[in-house]
Structure 1
Amino acid sequence: MSQSSKKNLGDLRVEIDSLDSEILELLNKRAAASLAVGAIKAGSSDQIFKPFREQEVLRGLIKRNPGTLPPEHLEAIYREIISSSRRLQRPERVVYLGPEGTFSYFAGLQHMGRQADLLPKNNFEDIFVAVSKGEADLGIIPLENSLKGTVGQNVDLFMRYPVFIQAELYHRISHGLMTKGADISEIKTVYSHSKALEQCTGWLRANMPGAELVSVESTAKAAQMVADSDDPVAAVGHLKLANLFGLHVVAEAIEDLPDNWTRFLIIGPKPGQEDKRDKTSLLFTTPDRPGALVEVLNELSGHDINMTKLESRPALGEKWKYMFFVDLQGDLGAEEHASLIEDLKARCLTFKILGSYPAGSQDGSKF
């Protein structure tokens, strides 16, 4: 390196150090403001997690971003800044389907940030129980996958437990093949969750026709099994599992259909309290008579409310009876819809607003 290049490099490093000092000062000013907000909220029932406010902040920053920093880098940085701000106001316990390393874990980490207390649960019902009893502030659950449809168990659990949707997250699912160092040709067994294996069957059969595909309880468990084994085995799952368990990624994006998305919900023990909520989910049952469902749908149509999802589920404990899960555009919790809600309740046997919340971006990041 020439003397002039060394001088330029030195000058740039001095400039970066100066900028870092300015950034540090501003971050601490922001942290002080967050603490002040927390002091004002102390003792109140106001929620710390404000999904629409966070969405508004991120979108505004990306829109105003004038420079070289890519939008996805800016968003990742501010996710952590916002996570720190929430933590300074009050620690949040966020439960998810464990163990650490599942897709639910990475969804929570990406959206809630590293300052949230992410606590694993053994099954979906344990998540609903923890949130409904106040043992956790929030829970993360998958509701539906673009290829495999709705997670019916979670729809059923909404009927049984008093929890409410706070926000939704759309994420693209991508799988990788990980080993301790074995070549693909040497691998005899591939471990993963049954859904992940199903989504990668074509690639696995084309590239590893002699390997046995073994289903285990989670992709994280599969990675752990590979890390603990001295045999030529592999795991299918999130690429970041390789970092968690000291594995090597030998193939990326091995899913047969690349346009694979999962819609996650963040649930809490009470309805969202923000003013801006642009989507509502309902769960209801209707009388057993002709046209009962049509009457409900006509009520919604008559108020120019657009329905984006309608799905029936068997009613728990009543054979050949069904409940309906519905997504609607708009905030049905708003005062202007009070009479509509009363009309809907009058036409239903049971009626529950699962939550009004900000709509998630359906072009979310790949993870």
Structure 2
Amino acid sequence: MHTTPHTEAAPPSADRREQSGLEGLRREIDAIDNALLELLNRRASASLAAGAVKREQGSPVFRPEREELLMETLLEKNSGPLPSTHLRTIYREILSSSRALQNPLKVAFLGPEGTFSHMAATEFLGNSMDFWAMPRFDDIFKAVENRDCGLGVIPLENSLHGTIVQSIDLFAAHAVHIQAEWFSRISHSLMSREAALAGIKTVYSHPQALGQCAGWLRANLPQAELISVDSTAAAAHKVLAERNAAAVGHGSLAPRLGLAVLARSIEDTSDNWTRFVCIGPEPAPAPASGQAGSGEDGAVKTSVLFTLADKPGALANVLQCFAAAGVNMNKLESRPMHLERWKYIFFCDVSCDLTDTKHAPLLDIVREHCHSFRILGAYPAGRYMQKGSGA
């Protein structure tokens, strides 16, 4: 009788063992994703319920100090390996979705889509908001003041080119409030239908963008005519139909519109940031200074507008009031008042919450020295967004 000798099965190859291990990890990840989905929907249900309570109480949906408190708490608890920057990005979108579920807020920004203001708005508020492009800054202020939009995104100043003076003028003309601020990194690209710099005779962009790239443009396109338009995105759309023209703007516009990027990072210095503010028809609740949720390094900032009597020492008296109270003023800007020759309105930022009752005696004294005095908003001091974006 013939018998076949018994042989042991060959051990699985290293590739098969790795594949088996990978399949196990994938099953684990799938299970985690299913659990996350259930938790996200539970959070969404709770958020909807909170939105109903807010409507009954007349409370605002956008609470920047509450969102900052939540973010700081989560970052403090995060033990990794998920990087803090990733956690911020994830929760930015969770909070954006939560706001949209509670009340689909319209957010006005300087359009069209693709402007630095648009990029900064999504960077700070997330992608679930109902963004509305406006042709001019004054349209944003009007839409917020008239409550056609719940929020507006406004560039206030740039680290290279200074204050956007039109924004200051519009604060003086409209009853709106600053609810939040942040700083977005600005990086400009030169875009065109042409294939090389040699063919460029005209460059279009927003005045701020042209100013931020003035040195590069003089050095590389000395003969080109520089023409200001309403926005960087409007400039990019304009060069679509024009030969020998280029636009300065956000580099992401190029693939959207089918333009070539002739040069990147053409700003005169890499340390180029724009301060943005979020405006609303009502003031936002401000956190107590030094507490969680009060912004960068636990700081609170207040922005004010005031006018003075035309007499010697008027401005010095106001500055002395703040100095005597130990209040740091970190921005002071004057602008001519419309319809009144040689009269000026002052915009200033101070590093505290002037709406806190402890500052009431200081405000009483300051108002005695002012012709008018208006608090634009007290809000968490803004943080620097690390993802490239801009104004």
Q: Structures share a fold, TM > 0.5?
A: yes
Match for residue 281 of structure 1?
Answer: 303
Mapped contact 1:189–1:211 kept (Cα < 8 A): yes
Mapped contact 1:47–1:273 kept (Cα < 8 A): no
Structure 2 counterpart of 1:128, one-letter code: F
- 1:10-59: CA deviation from partner (whole Å, max 9, x where unpaired): 23322221121111111111111111211211233211111111122222
Mapped contact 1:62–1:71 kept (Cα < 8 A): yes
Q: Cα offset for 1:294?
A: 1.5
Mapped contact 2:183–2:383 kept (Cα < 8 A): yes
The 1:215–1:152 alpha-carbon spacing in structure 2 relative to 1, beyond 3 Å, is closer
| Aligned partner (choices 45, 52, 56) of residue 43 of structure 1 | 56
Q: Cα offset for 1:232?
A: 6.4
Q: Cα offset for 1:207?
A: 4.8
Q: Secondary structure at the match of 2:56?
A: coil
| Aligned partner (choices 271, 274, 277) of residue 262 of structure 1 | 274
In 1: Cα distance, 2:60 partner to 2:258 partner: 38
| Aligned partner (choices 250, 263, 271) of residue 251 of structure 1 | 263
In the alignment, is residue 177 of structure 1 matched against residue 218 of structure 2?
no
In 2: Cα distance, 1:365 partner to 1:79 partner: 13
Match for residue 162 of structure 1?
Answer: 175
In the alignment, is residue 11 of structure 1 matched against residue 24 of structure 2?
yes
In 1: Cα distance, 2:315 partner to 2:323 partner: 12
In 1: Cα distance, 2:197 partner to 2:26 partner: 44
| Identity level (%) | 50
5 Å matches for 1:189-200?
Answer: 190-200=203-213
Aligned length, in residue pairs: 366
For structure 1, which segment, 84-93 or 189-198, has the greater mean C-alpha deviation from structure 2 after superposition?
Answer: 189-198
TM-score normalised per structure 1: 0.91
In 2: Cα distance, 1:216 partner to 1:161 partner: 24
The 1:116–1:287 alpha-carbon spacing in structure 2 relative to 1, beyond 3 Å, is same
Structure 2 counterpart of 1:19, one-letter code: I
Q: Cα offset for 1:177?
A: 2.9
The 1:316–1:232 alpha-carbon spacing in structure 2 relative to 1, beyond 3 Å, is closer
In the alignment, is residue 27 of structure 1 matched against residue 40 of structure 2?
yes
In the alignment, is residue 343 of structure 1 matched against residue 355 of structure 2?
no
The 1:61–1:252 alpha-carbon spacing in structure 2 relative to 1, beyond 3 Å, is farther
Q: Cα offset for 1:159?
A: 1.8
The 1:217–1:288 alpha-carbon spacing in structure 2 relative to 1, beyond 3 Å, is closer
Q: Cα offset for 1:165?
A: 0.8
Structure showing greater Rg: 2
| Aligned partner (choices 150, 165, 169) of residue 163 of structure 2 | 150
- Computed over aligned residues only, the root mean square deviation of the Cα atoms, in angstroms, reads 2.4
TM-score normalised per structure 2: 0.86
Match for residue 11 of structure 2?
Answer: none
In 2: Cα distance, 1:159 partner to 1:186 partner: 44
In 2: Cα distance, 1:118 partner to 1:52 partner: 22
Mapped contact 1:50–1:274 kept (Cα < 8 A): no
The 1:301–1:209 alpha-carbon spacing in structure 2 relative to 1, beyond 3 Å, is closer
Mapped contact 2:207–2:229 kept (Cα < 8 A): yes
Mapped contact 1:94–1:117 kept (Cα < 8 A): yes
Structure 2 counterpart of 1:366, one-letter code: G
| Aligned partner (choices 253, 269, 272) of residue 241 of structure 1 | 253
Structure 2 counterpart of 1:77, one-letter code: I
Q: Cα offset for 1:357?
A: 1.0
| Aligned partner (choices 284, 306, 309) of residue 272 of structure 1 | 284
Match for residue 10 of structure 2?
Answer: none
Q: Cα offset for 1:196?
A: 2.1
5 Å matches for 1:1-367?
Answer: 2-179=15-192, 182-184=195-197, 190-207=203-220, 213-227=226-240, 231=243, 234-276=246-288, 278-362=300-384, 364-367=386-389
Structure 1 counterpart of 2:250, one-letter code: H
Q: Where do 5+ consecutive residues of structure 1 fail to align?
A: none
In 1: Cα distance, 2:210 partner to 2:166 partner: 21
Q: Where do 5+ consecutive residues of structure 2 fail to align?
A: 1-13, 289-293, 295-299
Q: Secondary structure at the match of 1:167?
A: strand
Q: Cα offset for 1:341?
A: 1.6
For structure 1, which segment, 297-306 or 204-213, has the greater mean C-alpha deviation from structure 2 after superposition?
Answer: 204-213
Q: Cα offset for 1:212?
A: 5.7
In 1: Cα distance, 2:94 partner to 2:350 partner: 32
